[in-house]
Amino acid sequence: MAFHLSNMGTVNACKQCAPLGACIAFKGIEGALPMLHGSQGCATYIRRYVISHFREPMDIASSNFSEETTIFGGNRNFNTGIDNIISQYHPKVIAIASTCLSETIGEDVQRLIYEYQMTHNDSSLPKMIFASTPSYQGTHYEGFHEAVFAAVKVLAGTGETPGKPVNLFSNFISPEDIRHLKEIIADFGIDAMIFPDYSDTLDSTSWKTYFRIPEGGTPIEVLKRSGMANVSVELGYILNAGGRNGRIKNNAIIQSAGEYLQSKFNVVCRRTGLPVGIEETDRFFHLLAEISGKPVPEKYLRQRGRLVDLYIDGHKYVSGKKAVIYGEEDRVIALAAFAAEIGMKPVLCATGGESGQLQETLRKVLGDLYPENAVVGQGMSFEQIAAAIREQDLKPDLLIGNSKGYYIARELNVPLIRTGFPIHDRIGAQHIKTLGYEGTSLLFEQTVNSLLEDQQRKSPVGYKYM
């Protein structure tokens, strides 16, 4: 029997703040600079977290609330901040996210944007996008998808020429996985907008001179024409439905970017999960074959065949092993599906998200492989994850998730397979590939080799042949 846990008070949350996710999504727009309407501390915290994960510089502007601003409102600070951004950065887009403080005092940021634009009646003003991202209504994952939705809502339909026939909304993935998606799309001969695309802005080359706004990102002109596409493909089942209010926020139904384009411009929305593992990757590739009218390229059929062979080679090492999986909701679903198909048992699937859809979606995606005795936890903290492991006597063989769970793996003396966000205790998080048959091969090898290394380390003999 599965358990559904919900968190009321949070200590060491299994999530980060919503505007953090929004800032990462906004970095996927060409020429954009993120701005937080709130305190300077929020921007400092987010910059530290993002820089430590991606190992890249990250400029985030702030309206810099003070005690006076908190009481009387941040209009003056907002205007000053926008003025400074334009004069110092010359962005194409100013992407604004709210914080808990500005949302709590009821700041109408859309009104502030409108008033600024009316006061500065200048056609050369950068585009301004606003995402409502108070952390008490969601995690960094919801903030990410709220920003994606906000960008599409502001920009779509303003283009004057035909756009690309396919929109691909790539989800909260690594820069390396974004590049891999580009490769796959190109191999199918599909002309697609991939958004958000921070594959260069958050994983750049070494610079001789500092760029305040790095090159790269989805071009704004392409985003403007996204309402003219034939189809949108979204990777993920839950997306931005994971806030405390579920599918309702501010008395309005929450929509994903793909759902908005379908309702507003009749762009057909198709959805698959993150393509991790054979089953989920098959679904994604079959959808691309349907859209393109072309068969899956031989290149990927051979990658799939090598992955099947790899599963066979390593099956004896993973069969029956028990895994604790945690992180963003769609990532947990993808990793649980992967673990189940290689013969592992996902004994605990935990997330800080609160969509109420995790268990139901896991059952649907895993099908007959869903373990009925699995513990499924939403709105969880890492303290609750550790408590669930102890109280349910789960005895996991490994953990799969971000580096914030390391202390649990250390206490249990089991390996941690690092994936997702954040990864602060290893270098190369921006280069981790988990999507597609290639990414799954790398993930499977890492999983098997971590188990083998753990077995060797704990053996009194020290086997050199496993």
pLDDT tens, residue by residue, 278-314: 999 999 999 999 999 999 999 999 999 999 999 999 9
Q: How many CB atoms lie within 10 A of CB 434?
A: 25
Mean per-residue pLDDT, 119-127: 88
pTM (predicted TM-score): 0.94
CA-based max dimension of the chain: 77
Average pLDDT for the chain: 92
**pLDDT tens digits, 4-25:** 454 455 678 899 999 999 999 9
Mean per-residue pLDDT, 206-231: 93
CA 124 to chain centre: 32
Start-end of H helices in 55-174: 67-72, 75-89, 100-104, 109-119, 140-155
Better pLDDT: 461 or 268: 268
pLDDT at residue 460 in the model: 87
The encoded tokens of residue 245 equal: 């209010």
Consecutive H or E run containing 443:
helix 436-458
pLDDT at residue 4 in the model: 47
CA distance 156 to 216: 20
pLDDT band at 389 (very low <50, low <70, confident <90, very high): very high
**pLDDT tens digits, 325-359:** 999 999 999 999 999 999 999 999 999 998 899 99
For 180: left if phi > 0, alpha if psi spans -120 to 50, otherwise beta; the answer is alpha
pLDDT at residue 317 in the model: 97
Mean per-residue pLDDT, 127-142: 92
pLDDT at residue 74 in the model: 67
Q: Are the CB atoms for 259 and 296 separated by under 8 Å?
A: no
CA 11 to chain centre: 22
pLDDT at residue 250 in the model: 53
Of 150, 192, 198, 194, the closest CA to residue 176 belongs to 198
Is domain 299-458 given the CATH code 1.10.150.250 in the classification? no
Q: Is the pLDDT of residue 464 over 90?
A: no
Q: Is the pLDDT of residue 265 over 90?
A: yes
pLDDT at residue 331 in the model: 98
Q: Is the pLDDT of residue 408 over 60?
A: yes
Instruction: Look at the chain and count its residues.
Output: 466
Query: Is the peptide bond preceding residue 196 cis, with omega within 30 degrees of 0?
Result: yes
CA distance 413 to 454: 9
pLDDT band at 200 (very low <50, low <70, confident <90, very high): very high
For 424: left if phi > 0, alpha if psi spans -120 to 50, otherwise beta; the answer is alpha
